[in-house]
């Protein structure tokens, strides 16, 4: 047993201070002095002294702390006789570690200051590569970041300013098709989205939207682009990635996946309001099967083939409907052009109302007014508009002597200044009528000369309150037959100016309906407009107001549905598909799906409803009867229209879109940004 090396008695064990900055220079040799270096790193050993000269002799001045006066004393020249035993203290481990820390922090700080200096390009602080679509912008931080516009503003941008959407505004410089409310949920204005949600909520299986304060729709909170689109994660990073759970941030009706819990397609597509009234089941089962099919362009076999009317667009995503001439015209064109319809009256010399106060001689009261036996009893609505000069009608279309003079003044002014006289009678907002009035003006000039040869003199006498001059009566043709012309014509038999539709997509009727339809249903709508709309929209095709006639499907609103725009305006759907701005929450590409079962690709999903009991043309979802018993198109856009196709079954979709194919996420079929076709 050897003696221990380390002693801990108070004499032989000094107190170690590893936290000191300096250690004795002789410590590594195993012979440190007991004093140790000072805090400044100086050796505390003072073996030498500075001898003091007293008279002619030198005396040792060494302190007792360092050994006291030495026996030999100073040298004769006054220097100390002792050797210098001081050492060079060394840095302790603690001190070296501190220096290493300072060096490391200093290098880091220097690197960061260099990175943030004005002369260093900001791309060096880029947190990573952007996606390949944005790669061209990578060298220009200011293209996407407000903070990149000035180095000096980094700190203020980091902690003081909170311009949350400033960067997102830069996104919109390129992504301009994102909609009018780019930072609202689905880029749709809150009230529109709430409305859409309310409509969807009608169905019991619809997706619910959170009503809690955190719901973005209800809180009105705006979502910056970077909320979902996180850049600087590499060239191939999917910026549009959105998990199903993130969709359910707002959509609280949660379900496992598409195959388990997704709402059924109850209303699609058979109850989706189409732009054209077309019942597939009725056409295929009843009309196309008829022996005396009147189609002149299509045979029976091709009629039943879906591809006869529907073809994929160039991109293969959308199934388009062929135009009228290649589809409906074969059967329905004759119902438009051959209709025994005398045309829409725009001007007429109508019979004077019997209850008007005209006990005097009629000619002396209102002058020349060449009515015939077949003259209309009421003014045409457009004529009433022009005579009254206001859309707010008088509530009656009856002709009175006062109105006759106003009518004559209008005719004279048209003769003098042309269509300007008509345009100034309707407000600027009714610009859709102006085109029609321009076509009407020459005919009015013609009839003002032929029907009213003394018009100018009559009006001069009437203005001067002098007796009216006498003019010979205007000759009336004996035989009144349907004129063979189409378009504008003057009917001398009943003293009217009429317009007969030329063909399908007649421009005058289209403009007239575009003008009328938005105004129907408004409180301020005039009686004239209601009457005109009734005449034009009456699917009976009589052509006469308040008269029913033979059945005809060729009238405009018999086939073209009406829809309500976002601003509540009613409009006619002239095209088969809506290609404008609408909420495309769902997307579907036909082309990959039609490859699955080529022979029956369409009918696999779109099954014809063969069990429909109601086969009348005037189905309640298409038309309704008004108080007078006349058929009116169903203007209520919430009213579903049957296309004769059964609903697409979700289970059928789920046979492919399921967990095994990993193609059953929300974004597989749904768009977040819903703008665009």
Q: How far apart are CA 106 and CA 165, in angstroms?
A: 37
User: CA geometry: angle at 508 spanning 506 and 512, to 5°?
Assistant: 115
Q: 75 or 164: whose CB is closer to another protein?
A: 164
Q: How far apart are CA 376 and CA 495, in angstroms?
A: 8
Strands 57-59 and 52-54 turn out to be antiparallel
Q: How far apart are CA 500 and CA 490, in angstroms?
A: 11
List of E strands, 244-293: none
Mention every residue, 6+ apart, whose C-beta is less than 8 A from residue 117.
151
How many Cβ atoms sit within 10 Å of the Cβ of residue 568? Answer: 9
Per the CB < 8 A criterion, the answer to whether 557 and 536 are in contact is yes
Mention every residue, 6+ apart, whose C-beta is less than 8 A from residue 239.
131, 133, 229, 230, 231
At its nearest, how many Å lie between another protein and the CB of residue 101? 4
Cβ-based burial of 39 (10 A; exposed 0-12, middle 13-18, buried ≥19)? exposed
At its nearest, how many Å lie between another protein and the CB of residue 519? 44
H-type helices in 451-524, by residue range?
455-463, 507-516
Task: Give the three-state DSSP class for 98.
Answer: helix
The backbone torsions φ and ψ at residue 293, rounded to the nearest 5 degrees and listed phi first, read -60, 125
At its nearest, how many Å lie between another protein and the CB of residue 79? 32
At its nearest, how many Å lie between another protein and the CB of residue 657? 22
At its nearest, how many Å lie between another protein and the CB of residue 207? 16
Mention every residue, 6+ apart, whose C-beta is less than 8 A from residue 518.
569, 570, 571
Cis peptide, bond prior to residue 269, ω within 30 of zero: yes
At its nearest, how many Å lie between another protein and the CB of residue 9? 14
At its nearest, how many Å lie between another protein and the CB of residue 158? 4
DSSP labels, 308-364 = HHEEE-TTSSSEEE--GGGTTHHHHHHHHHT-----EEEEE-PPBPTTSS--S-HHH
Q: 201 or 228: whose CB is closer to another protein?
A: 228
Per the CB < 8 A criterion, the answer to whether 489 and 343 are in contact is yes
Per the CB < 8 A criterion, the answer to whether 436 and 381 are in contact is no
The backbone torsions φ and ψ at residue 257, rounded to the nearest 5 degrees and listed phi first, read -160, -170
Q: 112 or 485: whose CB is closer to another protein?
A: 112
At its nearest, how many Å lie between another protein and the CB of residue 147? 4
H-type helices in 73-165, by residue range?
93-116, 154-159
Per the CB < 8 A criterion, the answer to whether 653 and 258 are in contact is yes
Tokens 């019979």, residue located: 351
At its nearest, how many Å lie between another protein and the CB of residue 15? 10
At its nearest, how many Å lie between another protein and the CB of residue 91? 13
Per CB under 8 A, residues contacting another protein are: 2, 4-6, 16, 18, 23, 27-32, 93, 96-97, 100-105, 107-109, 111-112, 115-116, 124-129, 141, 145, 147-148, 153-155, 157-159, 162, 164-168, 214, 223-228, 232-234, 243, 245-246, 248-249
Q: 103 or 392: whose CB is closer to another protein?
A: 103
Q: 25 or 179: whose CB is closer to another protein?
A: 25
Q: 28 or 551: whose CB is closer to another protein?
A: 28
Q: 184 or 497: whose CB is closer to another protein?
A: 184
Q: 37 or 343: whose CB is closer to another protein?
A: 37
At its nearest, how many Å lie between another protein and the CB of residue 127? 4
Q: 150 or 198: whose CB is closer to another protein?
A: 150
At its nearest, how many Å lie between another protein and the CB of residue 388? 58
Q: 10 or 159: whose CB is closer to another protein?
A: 159
Mention every residue, 6+ apart, whose C-beta is less than 8 A from residue 97.
none
Per the CB < 8 A criterion, the answer to whether 510 and 574 are in contact is yes
Q: 20 or 668: whose CB is closer to another protein?
A: 20
Q: 124 or 599: whose CB is closer to another protein?
A: 124
Q: 225 or 382: whose CB is closer to another protein?
A: 225
Q: 168 or 375: whose CB is closer to another protein?
A: 168
**Beta partners for residue 399, in sequence order:** 352
At its nearest, how many Å lie between another protein and the CB of residue 668? 18
The backbone torsions φ and ψ at residue 629, rounded to the nearest 5 degrees and listed phi first, read 85, 10
Q: How far apart are CA 433 and CA 515, in angstroms?
A: 7
H-type helices in 451-483, by residue range?
455-463
Task: Give the three-state DSSP class for 131.
Answer: coil
């Amino acid at each position: 047993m050897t003696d221990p090396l380390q002693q801990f008695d108070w004499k032989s064990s000094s107190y170690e201070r590893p936290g000191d900055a300096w250690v004795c220079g002789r410590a590594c040799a195993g012979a440190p002095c007991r004093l140790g270096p000072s805090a400044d790193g100086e050796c505390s050993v003072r073996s030498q002294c500075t001898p003091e000269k007293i008279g002619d002799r030198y005396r040792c001045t060494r302190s007792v702390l360092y050994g006291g006066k030495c026996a030999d004393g100073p040298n004769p020249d006054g220097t100390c006789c002792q050797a210098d035993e001081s050492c060079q203290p060394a840095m302790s481990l603690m001190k070296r570690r501190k220096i290493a820390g300072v060096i490391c922090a200093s290098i880091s700080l220097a690197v960061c200051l260099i990175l943030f200096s004005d002369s260093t390009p900001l791309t060096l602080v880029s947190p990573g590569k952007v996606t390949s679509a944005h790669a061209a912008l990578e060298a220009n931080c200011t293209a996407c970041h407000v903070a990149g516009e000035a180095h000096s503003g980094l700190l203020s941008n980091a902690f003081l300013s909170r311009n949350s959407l400033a960067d997102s505004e830069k996104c919109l410089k390129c992504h301009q098709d994102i909609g009018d409310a780019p930072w609202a949920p689905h880029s749709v204005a809150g009230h529109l989205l709430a409305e859409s949600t309310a409509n969807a909520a009608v169905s019991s299986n619809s997706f619910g939207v959170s009503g809690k304060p955190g719901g973005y729709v209800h809180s009105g909170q705006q979502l910056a682009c970077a909320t979902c689109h996180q850049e600087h994660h590499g060239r191939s990073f999917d910026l549009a990635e959105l998990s199903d759970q993130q969709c359910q941030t707002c959509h609280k009706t949660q379900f496992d996946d598409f195959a388990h819990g997704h709402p059924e397609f109850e209303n699609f597509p058979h109850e989706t309001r189409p732009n054209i009234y077309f019942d597939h089941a009725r056409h295929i089962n009843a009309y196309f099967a008829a022996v005396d099919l009147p189609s002149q362009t299509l045979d029976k076999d091709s009629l039943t083939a879906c591809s006869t009317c529907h073809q994929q667009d160039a991109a293969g995503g959308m199934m388009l409907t062929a135009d009228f001439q290649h589809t409906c015209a074969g059967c329905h064109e004759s119902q438009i052009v051959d209709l025994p319809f005398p045309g829409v009256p725009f001007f007429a010399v109508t019979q004077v109302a019997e209850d008007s106060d005209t006990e005097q001689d009629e000619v002396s009261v209102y002058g020349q007014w060449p009515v015939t036996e077949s003259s209309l009893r009421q003014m045409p609505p457009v004529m009433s508009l022009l005579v009254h000069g206001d859309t707010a009608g008088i509530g009656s279309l009856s002709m009175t002597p006062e109105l006759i003079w106003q009518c004559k003044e209008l005719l004279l002014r048209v003769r003098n200044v042309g269509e300007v006289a008509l345009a100034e009678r309707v407000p600027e907002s009714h610009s859709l009528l102006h085109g029609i009035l321009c076509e009407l003006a020459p005919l009015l000039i013609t009839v003002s000369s032929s029907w009213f040869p003394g018009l100018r003199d009559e009006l001069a006498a009437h203005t001067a309150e002098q007796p009216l001059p006498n003019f010979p009566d205007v000759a009336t043709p004996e035989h009144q037959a349907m004129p063979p012309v189409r378009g504008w014509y003057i009917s001398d038999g009943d003293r009217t100016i009429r317009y007969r539709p030329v063909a399908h997509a007649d421009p005058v009727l289209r403009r007239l309906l575009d003008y009328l339809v938005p105004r129907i249903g408004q409180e301020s709508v005039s009686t004239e407009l209601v009457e005109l709309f009734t005449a034009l929209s009456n699917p009976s095709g009589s052509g006469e107001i308040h008269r029913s006639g033979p059945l005809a499907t060729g009238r405009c609103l018999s086939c073209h549905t009406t829809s309500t725009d976002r601003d509540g305006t009613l409009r006619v759907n002239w095209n088969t598909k809506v290609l404008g701005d609408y909420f495309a929450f769902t997307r579907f590409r036909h082309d990959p799906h039609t490859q699955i079962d080529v022979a029956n690709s369409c009918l696999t999903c779109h099954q014809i409803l063969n069990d429909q009991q109601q086969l009348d043309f005037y189905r309640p979802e298409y038309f309704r009867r008004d108080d007078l018993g006349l058929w009116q198109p169903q203007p209520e856009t919430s009213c579903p229209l049957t296309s004769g196709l059964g609903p697409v079954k979700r289970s059928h979709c789920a046979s492919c879109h399921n967990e095994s194919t990993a193609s059953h996420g929300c974004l597989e079929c749904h768009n977040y940004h819903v703008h665009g076709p």
